[in-house]
Amino acid sequence: MKDMVAAVSAGIVDGSVLIDLDYKEEAHEEGGVADIPVAMIPSTGEISLLQMDGVISKENLKKAIAMVKTACIKINEAQKKALKDKYICDVQNCDGDKK
């Protein structure tokens, strides 16, 4: 494995750019909604998936992508910590005793 991928969705609800929309926000029927799932390789900043459902302005799309990049970096940090913690538990048997 060369790298990990982090993903989150952004969206527009009533003109506001949001990250990680929940079902209620995605199903919002008043004022227009756009849902934008994005996957990114955090070490390079490369977007490996960009999908859009709905209508969004160019300015809001740029804002959403910037917010997604920040969120994906935080998600990647949590992913790395979880993997390290799991590896340490496997090696140390989670009690501090080596196998």
- CB-CB contact of 61 with 6 (8 Å): no
In this prediction, residue 99 has a pLDDT band, given cuts at 50, 70 and 90, of: very low
Residue 86 has a pLDDT of 82
- CB-CB contact of 49 with 39 (8 Å): yes
For the chain, percent of residues with pLDDT exceeding 90: 49
Q: What single string gives the DSSP state of each residue in 68-92?
A: HHHHHHHHHHHHHHHHHHHHHHHHH
Residue 19 has a pLDDT of 94
Residue 17 has a pLDDT of 93
- CB-CB contact of 16 with 8 (8 Å): no
For the chain, percent of residues with pLDDT exceeding 70: 85
- CB-CB contact of 34 with 52 (8 Å): yes
In this prediction, residue 91 has a pLDDT band, given cuts at 50, 70 and 90, of: low
pTM for the full predicted model: 0.78
Residue 68 has a pLDDT of 95
Q: What is the pLDDT of residues 14-52, one digit of tens each?
A: 888 999 988 887 776 676 778 899 999 998 999 999 999
Domains of the chain listed by start with CATH number? 6-92 (3.30.230.70)
CB atoms within 10 A of CB 91: 10
